[in-house]
Structure 1
Amino acid sequence: MVAVERTAVVQSSAKLRNELDSNDGDSMTNGYDEFRKQKHHIDMSRGKPSPEQLSLSAGMLSVLSAGDFRAADGTDCRNYGVLQGLPEARTLGADFT
């Protein structure tokens, strides 16, 4: 099965190489122009969440009030960089150790 797929890839690659090497680049240009005329709307980006996935986290955006961003020990959670981790997170993780 793999040998068959590899053969198909090699043949396609060779065909493309022959088209590129030929003096008749018009066939590729015409093919590209025809493709563009079809007005495809293709989003090639990756990792975009769907609206439903975005809605899952909507509640998290309103759960904190304007000044509610400090941990129990006073650590500013907006600039998290404490080596030991937040006390609340350590307490949660203590049950797993």
Structure 2
Amino acid sequence: MKRSLETIAYNQDTEALARFAKALGHPTRIAIIKHLENQSCCFTGDLVEVFPLAQSTVSQHLKELKNAGLIQGELKPPKIKYCINKDNWNKAKALFQEFFD
């Protein structure tokens, strides 16, 4: 069975939307994204000061957001600087908008 380019694009968009939705499926991750939207970038330690969570917990949430492609990290030894991946964030917003319309 041949798949059309439209079907392939649909599947890729559907998979991306599901990946973004899963990453945003925790209130802390939503709060982290909202915080990062108002910052150019920040370090894990900065987020630990903002949220009443252990550093390991914050790091786990950052890992999930990064794996979904919503944020990106840049190694600045011994720290990691995080910021929103603007391309993927814009794609996520567009996919959610399309989904809800």
TM-score (norm 2): 0.25
Structure with bigger gyration radius: 1
Of structures 1 and 2, the one scoring higher in RCO (CA 8 A, sep 6+) is 2
More strand by share: 2
More helix by share: 2
